[in-house]
Amino acid sequence: MIDLNSDLGEGFGIWRLGDDDALLGIVTSANVACGFHAGDPSTMRRVCRQAASAGVAVGAQVSYRDLAGFGRRFIDADPAELADEVLYQVGALDACARAAGTKVEYVKPHGALYNATVHHDAQAKAVVDGVKAFGDLPVLGLPGSRLLHHAERAGLRAVREAFADRAYTPEATLVPRTQPNAVLTSTDAVLAQVLRLARDGELVAIDGTVLKTRVDSVCLHGDTPGAVEHAREVRGALEREGIPVARFVPR
């Protein structure tokens, strides 16, 4: 069984990014922006309402406070403040989710914060501290990351995640978006990466290194060109292979 998640609700005010409506008909978990890198109260509540209607799990996509940079710039945040900001974001989204008849069921960092928590021990622990202050929610992260290490130590479920549309380094981390070919934009390339991962537990790094890994969830970015087509093809291919596609948190 594999979960398909996507970053949604990443508009702001009148500006929209991606096709939330279409993706909510395909994915099983929605990482909803909580207002720090994108999103606003109306967008958050709308996406939560649509997710609830579609039976899609709602997750809090927490970030550095960086609207201008879309959360893709590292911030040397004080760990205590970062923990409070994570708690704030989860609580805000949970209020919107409960108003829509659902609730926040997991947490995933976004962008630069996600990448920082792979190796930055203090920030990884701060994110977990913020989650734990809210409740015992699962945490999505890169396998082997400090984030998942601290989640497990705190008694939280550590959910291993891979990316359908991102290239990997030989060290099993994501190729920075500032480098060429960091994002897979071809549906065929996305499909090949997900199917090899699902069938064989393997990812192929940008230099050809074969990386052995096991994951619980696969992310399809909502802002990648062709995101809806990618998601539709990935789900169809997994189901044809007899691999059940289902949310990793129980209904």
Average pLDDT over the chain, rounded to an integer: 95
What's residue 85's pLDDT? 98
Band (pLDDT 50/70/90 cuts) for residue 15 is confident
pTM equals 0.95
pLDDT at 103 over 90: yes
Q: Do the Cβ atoms of 9 and 43 come closer than 8 Å?
A: yes
Q: Which residue has the tokens 């109260």?
A: 41
pLDDT at 174 over 80: yes
Angle between helices 111-119 and 146-153 (to 10 degrees): 70
- Calculate the CA 40 to chain-centre distance: 18
Angle between helices 187-200 and 227-240 (to 10 degrees): 30
Burial of 136 (0-12, 13-18, 19+ CB in 10 A): exposed
The predicted model gives 111-120 an average pLDDT of 97
Band (pLDDT 50/70/90 cuts) for residue 16 is confident
Q: Which residue has the tokens 């279409």?
A: 22
Q: Do the Cβ atoms of 60 and 34 come closer than 8 Å?
A: yes
Q: Do the Cβ atoms of 92 and 34 come closer than 8 Å?
A: yes
Instruction: Give the pairing type, strands 210-212 and 202-204.
Output: antiparallel
The predicted model gives 95-120 an average pLDDT of 98
How much of the chain exceeds pLDDT 70, in percent? Answer: 100
Radius of gyration of the chain (CA): 17
Q: Do the Cβ atoms of 194 and 164 come closer than 8 Å?
A: yes
Band (pLDDT 50/70/90 cuts) for residue 2 is very high
More confident residue, 116 or 222: 116
Token pair recorded at residue 84:
């409070």
Angle between helices 121-134 and 79-99 (to 10 degrees): 40
